[in-house]
């Protein structure tokens, strides 16, 4: 027999299915909600329902969007001919915080990972080729993660997907993080930092 | 709780929590080990690229109750071409998946460790497509299931060996033929690999035979594992074309 009332048990089970939430955390959140004002709990419930009802992937770039088009694709002030390719919608948030990019995005919704059986068909690679072919793109900036999957995806885009197009293909620079110590840098990062050194 | 050090090859990794990863390593003296690398996904992580798949490294671990924790790591062999060349990385991914599948946690196999590190280094050096079939044939030999190549598996004759049947475990003569055709050159290359003349095969085999052996070896290992390799279709269709 369960120690808790059925609705509490159900909530703990549901919260426990979320990423990074274990049974103890799920129990703590459930009891927090039990103690919270009804208004606060309702606001959370409404936010979850609204998220599922109103938010989907942008039909153009596959960023999260309220409606068919995301705010970036719908903004006429953004540069129309430069495309930044990222793995996930949350990468867009990180790039937007820099304020250094004013073009548009293309979200792949993943990266090529042979060890997981994920190839180009499982991500939005064909859609990228279609956009470059149709949207008069002049530069594609590949901003996939600097790990093995991201590097493989970047090489595949540059060598296979964009090879037939007359488009400038660039990759985010790779090197040492600001604030770190040189002695802890791994060989690959340090090697790339040396290759990409700049005149002062 | 004890600290220990070992050499190893990173077979794969999984995301864990906000910034960690579980790293699966095939180590020289402890076999397959699963360990948590804390903060490895942060850009300022001290591990950098050292814990990426196919890295050959020397690491220090903190023994945990369920999973160990990687506390330090340094690269033993730098393999720059594996990261920059799609076909080399693709073939390396197949090798890593095979080793992940045939090993069990804690199962020490020094010969397999030597074979894997040697094959990864060779693949990085020259990208020869035959490295993968040679690796597979050597693994099958280590597992005791190498194909019979010098006589028919059905009637034992050594003449007119024209076919190979993976399920039967070797070549067949014209009278008993089953499975698929195999050329004399491909059969000789497989035999040379099993006889330890891998360097000769890598240097002398033509592209067509290499492709035939690559396809054949993938099916041989799948037969042995009794499952399909997840990496193989991705690599064949997209990364090695």
Maximum Cα interatomic distance, chain B, rounded to a whole number of Å: 65
A-chain residues near B55 (CB < 8 A)? none
Residue closest to B24 by CA, chosen among B51, B45, B47: B51
B213 against A179, higher pLDDT = B213
Integer Cα distance of B41 and B18 in angstroms: 8
pLDDT digits (tens, 9 = 90+) for B5-19: 999 999 999 998 889
Residue closest to A151 by CA, chosen among B239, B22, B208: B239
Other Cβ atoms closer than 10 A to A169? 18
Task: Delineate the domains of chain B, giving CATH numbers in brackets.
Answer: 3-79 (2.40.50.140), 128-239 (no CATH)
Q: Compute the radius of gyration of chain B from its Cα atoms.
A: 19
Query: Does B57 lie at the interface with A, CB-CB under 8 angstroms?
Result: no
Mean pLDDT, residues A93-107 taken together = 95
pLDDT digits (tens, 9 = 90+) for B62-112: 998 889 999 999 999 989 898 888 999 999 999 999 999 999 988 899 999
Nearest-by-Cβ selection for B231 from A117, A146, A189: A117
pLDDT over 60 at A113, yes or no: yes
pLDDT over 90 at A176, yes or no: no
Mean of per-residue pLDDT scores for chain A? 92
Characterize A62-98 residue by residue with b for buried, 16 or more Cβ atoms within 10 angstroms of its Cβ, and e for exposed.
bbbbeeeebebbeeeeeeeebbbbbbbbebbeebeee
pLDDT over 80 at A180, yes or no: no
Whether the CB-CB separation of A134 and A111 falls below 8 Å is answered with: no
Mean pLDDT, residues A28-55 taken together = 94
Range among A4-8, A180-184, B6-10 with highest mean pLDDT value = B6-10
Q: How far is CA A82 from CA A114, A142, B95, B143, in A?
A: 29, 11, 38, 53
Whether the CB-CB separation of A57 and A64 falls below 8 Å is answered with: yes
Contact A148 B84 (CB under 8 A): no
Question: pLDDT confidence of B1, banded at 50, 70, 90?
Answer: low
Whether the CB-CB separation of A35 and A43 falls below 8 Å is answered with: no
Task: Delineate the domains of chain A, giving CATH numbers in brackets.
Answer: 6-56 (1.10.8.420), 70-199 (3.40.1360.10)
Mean pLDDT, residues B145-158 taken together = 93
pLDDT over 70 at A27, yes or no: yes
Integer Cα distance of B192 and B33 in angstroms: 33
- Give the minimum alpha-carbon distance from A36 to chain B in angstroms, rounded to a whole number: 27
Q: Give pLDDT, residue A118.
A: 93
Nearest-by-Cβ selection for B18 from A20, A115, A156: A20
Backbone phi, psi, residue B150, to 5°:
-100, -5
Q: DSSP state, A48? A: H
Q: Give pLDDT, residue A189.
A: 86
Residue closest to B199 by CA, chosen among B189, B208, B187, B209: B189
> How many whole angstroms from its chain centre is CA A10?
31
Q: Give pLDDT, residue A2.
A: 67
Mean pLDDT, residues B119-148 taken together = 93
Q: Give pLDDT, residue B153.
A: 93
Q: How many CB pairs under 8 A join A and B?
A: 75
Question: pLDDT confidence of B223, banded at 50, 70, 90?
Answer: very high
pLDDT over 60 at A1, yes or no: no
Query: Does B66 lie at the interface with A, CB-CB under 8 angstroms?
Result: no
- Give the minimum alpha-carbon distance from A15 to chain B in angstroms, rounded to a whole number: 15
Nearest-by-Cβ selection for B53 from A118, A148, A187: A148
């Amino acid at each position: 027999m369960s120690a808790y009332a059925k609705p509490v048990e159900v909530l703990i089970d549901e919260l426990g299915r979320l990423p990074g939430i274990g049974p103890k955390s799920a129990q703590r959140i459930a009891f927090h909600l039990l103690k919270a004002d009804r208004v606060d709990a309702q606001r959370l419930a409404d936010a979850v329902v609204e998220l599922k009802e109103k938010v989907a992937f942008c039909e153009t770039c596959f960023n999260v969007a309220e409606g068919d088009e995301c705010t970036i694709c719908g903004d006429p002030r953004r540069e129309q001919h430069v495309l930044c390719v990222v793995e996930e919608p949350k990468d867009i948030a990180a790039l937007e915080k820099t304020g250094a990019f004013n073009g548009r995005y293309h979200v792949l919704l993943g990266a090529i990972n042979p060890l997981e059986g994920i190839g180009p068909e499982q991500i939005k690679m064909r859609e990228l080729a279609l956009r470059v072919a149709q949207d008069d793109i002049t530069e594609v900036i590949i901003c996939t993660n600097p790990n093995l999957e991201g590097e493989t995806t970047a090489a595949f885009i540059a060598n296979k997907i964009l090879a037939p197009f007359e488009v400038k293909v660039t990759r985010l620079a790779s090197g040492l993080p600001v604030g770190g110590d040189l002695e802890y840098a791994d060989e690959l990062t340090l090697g790339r930092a040396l290759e990409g050194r700049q005149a002062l | 709780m004890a600290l220990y050090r070992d050499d190893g090859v990173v077979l794969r990794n999984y995301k864990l929590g906000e910034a960690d990863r579980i790293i699966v390593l095939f180590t020289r003296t402890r076999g397959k080990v699963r360990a948590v690398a804390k903060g490895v996904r942060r850009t300022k992580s001290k591990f950098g690229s050292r814990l990426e798949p196919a890295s050959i490294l020397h690491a220090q671990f903190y023994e945990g109750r369920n999973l160990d924790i990687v506390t330090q790591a340094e690269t033993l062999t730098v393999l720059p071409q594996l990261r920059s060349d799609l076909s080399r990385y693709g073939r390396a991914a197949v090798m890593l998946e095979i080793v992940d599948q045939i090993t069990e946690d804690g199962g020490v196999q020094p010969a397999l460790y030597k074979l894997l590190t040697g094959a990864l280094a060779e693949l990085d050096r020259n990208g020869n497509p035959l490295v993968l079939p040679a690796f597979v044939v050597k693994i099958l030999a280590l597992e005791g299931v190498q194909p019979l190549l010098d006589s028919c598996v059905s009637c034992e004759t050594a003449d007119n060996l024209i076919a190979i049947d993976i399920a039967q475990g070797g070549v067949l003569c014209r009278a008993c033929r089953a499975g698929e055709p195999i050329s004399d050159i491909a059969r000789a290359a497989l035999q040379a690999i099993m006889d330890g003349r891998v360097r000769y095969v890598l240097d002398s085999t033509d592209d067509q035979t290499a492709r035939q052996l690559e396809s054949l070896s993938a099916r041989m290992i799948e037969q042995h594992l009794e499952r399909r390799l997840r990496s193989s279709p991705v690599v064949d269709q997209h990364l090695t074309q």
